[in-house]
Structures are given as C-alpha cells and as structure tokens.
Amino acid sequence: MPRTTESAQHPADTDTAGLRSRVRDLLAAHDPATTPRDTFLRARFDAGLAWVHFPEGLGGLGAPRALQSVVDAELEAAGAPDNDPRRIGIGLGMAAPTILKYGTEEQKQRFLRPLWTGEEVWCQLFSEPGAGSDLAALATRAVRDGDSEDAGWTVDGQKVWTSQAHLARWAILIARTDPDAPKHRGISYFVCDMTDPGVEVRPLRQITGEAEFNEVFLTGVRIPDSHRLGAVGEGWKVAQTTLNNERVAIGGGRIPREGGMIGKAAATWRERPELRTHDLHQRLLGLWVEAEAARLAAVRLGQQLTAGHPGPEGAGIKLAFARLAQEISGLEVELLADEGLTYQDWTMTRPQHVNFTGRDAGYRYLRAKGNSIEGGTSEVLLNIVAERVLGLPAEPRTDKDVPWKELAR
C-alpha cells in the first residue's frame, strides 16, 4: 500500500521557495529537539525531502537533483538529524538508484523508505574469489525452484570483499541463472535477505587490522521471484546501473576546497615546518593542484547527474580518487618520517564505515591501498574510460559468444 505523503498538501511548485516552505512545515510538525530520530527521518521521507529528485511517494518530489542542497542546508541549520550516510552508503549510493530504475512499484515501496532512514543496512554481493576483475565470469548459481514463471530461486556460491555484510539486512546480488549463455547474458539480479539461514558471513581481516570487509557463503539461500530486479538473464545490464553509481559514490563525493586527504597533508605541512624539504614541497604542490582539479571534475559530474543516471565518466572520477589517495597518503607518511610509520589503532574491529581523515597517517596509508580495487580495479576502469568515454578500439575478446560453462576457470 503506497504511503500518503505530506507533499500532497503543498502547491505543486518545487522551486527553492517551495522547498523551504516544505521544510518549515516539516519542522513545525516534527520539532527535531523533541521528535525521536527515526520518527523524524520517516516524516522527512514521507514529506518528499529525502531525495527531492525521486518521484512523489518514494521520498521525493520529482524536483531537480540540484535542489537537494537547499533542503539539506535548511535542515542542518535547524539541528535536524541526518541518516548517517557513511553507515548506509551502499544502500544510498548503489541499491537505491538501481531499485528506482528497475524495481517494481511493490519493491520501491517496500525497500526505499527503511533504506533511506537507515533502519535497514544494505551490502553488495558481487565480487567472487574467482571473478573479481572479471565480474561477468561469476559462478554463484541461482536455480528456479519450479517450472512456473513466478517460482522462487535457490542460490549457492561464495562472495568476497563484501563491505558491511556483518551489519546488513539486505544485499544486492548477481548470480548465474543460465550457464549455457555467454557470461554477460546468463546473469540475473536479486535482492537477498541476509538473515536467511543459508547466509554465512565471515570477517576478512585487512592490513589495517580491522575487518571492514567480509566473505559471504550462500548455501541453499531461498529468494522469492518477487525479489528479482529486471528480467531473467539481464542482470548484467541492471548491474551496470549499480556499478556506475558506485564509482561516483566512491570518487565523486562533494567535499570543500582542500578537503579530504589533501587537507590532512596540507595541515601537517603547515603545522610542522621542521619536516619540510624542497622535494616534498614540490610534490605537495603538484598533488594539491591535481586534487583540486579532481574535486572540480566531481562537482561538474554531479551537475551532469541532474539530467539522469551516471554514465561511464564516473570511472574516470573513481580512478583519480584512488590514485590521489594513495599518492597523498604516501607523501604524508614520508613527510612525517618515523612518525608516519606509527599506527595507534591496529586492533581487530568491525567498523560501520571507513574514516580516512579521522585516523592517523599510518592508517590512511594502509587503507588507501584498497582504493584501486574497490568499486572496480583501476585496470578495468582504464579500459572503461578508453572504450566508453574516449571511443578507443575495444580490446579483443575471445570469450564474447562462448557459453559460460565452456570457459576455463
């Protein structure tokens, strides 16, 4: 049953003045100082002020995406709670846009509201031990439970590098449903219940000492057909929406000038003059310029997103982010000399999100190594930029029309 929204009580205009009026009405009805956090977030969603560019009834108003900043600024000034976006980044940045584009009306109504409020955390079951960079070669199988079109599915396989699987209620999952088809065409896309008894989550301890990632084993996991996104066999097409949004979410976040990693390195430079050398100065200047160029490119990409879903250009933003994070963190360790080798919190923890700038330089240096793997390896992203952005000839592929079951693994 679709939820009624407060937006129906307002004029149809969704300009800046109209949005501010809606925010005032929300605050008048739900004072942030006295309203429980979850109650306020649900009311904000129902008022269409969660994602203003989403349709009415799904957390939005069908307004231009660029106007979201107006809502966020007004609510922040009023002391309203946010939905802790770092903790639910996979749901916000990857699952939600995919559900919006390919989900049924019932799926949108069921999943989007608790996803946005943070009541249900999401993870991503894509990568596999034998299919990392070549994701389309995945071997996790989904087999129909019967012959009817709406029969459910039984899933068996293993996934890896799954951030937040230890916290997640739901997962976006791609699995092979037709081994006789070529690898890109025999995949389907599902929403998986992480509380199913066949789901086993094991921590993967990283070089940082913590276990932010997991490996997930799926044994006889039952998924109703109503939890399939897109048509059977078109999971690769659906997954492209997820992957394009993931790359923008990783590398295209809005940060202020000299924010993020370069801000930490620049602060160390200013505060510790005894550590400075001419060579490090030149490198810092060069990286500062590159970081600012990448930041402005991300802003420009964000402006382009107002016209629709992200395209392959997001791969370039994510590439730049990974390289700069590694080079800047390496520079900071060199600048700090022996101090840069220290890492105070090398303990086995299960974090809810990554915190680059709130930790010491040693942590940033170690954690940045993963940036060139997560969200697509840098090598794969280079191919995407070359072929889909620059229009260069594609690399030869001998497996394009070969049935998956005949491929060497």
Asked if 271 contacts 204 with a C-beta cutoff of 8 angstroms, the reply is no
DSSP letters for 152-183: -EEEEEEE-S-TTTTT-SEEEEEEES-TTSBT
Cα distance between residue 388 and residue 384, in whole Å: 6
Instruction: Supply the residues annotated as catalytic.
Output: 246
Question: What is the rounded distance in angstroms from the CA atom of residue 92 to the CA atom of residue 353?
Answer: 13
Residues 6+ apart with CB under 8 A from 348: 205, 209, 210, 211
The three-point CA angle 309-315-318 to 5° equals 110
Instruction: Give the other-Cβ count within 10 Å of 260's Cβ.
Output: 19
Q: How far apart are CA 25 and CA 8, in angstroms?
A: 13
Calpha distance 349→141 (Å, rounded): 32
How far is Cα 151 from Cα 359, in angstroms, rounded to an integer? 49
Question: Both tokens of residue 245?
Answer: 């949004």
- Please give the Cα distance from 367 to 371 (Å, whole number): 8
Whether 158 and 184 have beta carbons less than 8 Å apart is answered as: no
Q: For the CA atoms of the chain, what is the radius of gyration?
A: 23
- Going by C-alpha positions, the residue among 179, 94, 104 that lies closest to residue 142 is 179
Q: Are 258 and 288 in contact (CB under 8 A)?
A: yes
- Compute the C-alpha angle 361/363/365, nearest 5°: 70
Is 169 within 8 Å of 194 (Cβ atoms)? yes
Dihedral angle sign, alpha carbons of residues 228, 233, 238, 240: positive
What is d(CA 314, CA 157) in angstroms, rounded to the nearest whole number? 30
**Which residues have C-beta within 8 Å of that of residue 69, sequence separation ≥ 6?**
none
CA distance 44 to 27: 9
- C-beta of residue 354 within 8 angstroms of C-beta of residue 374: no
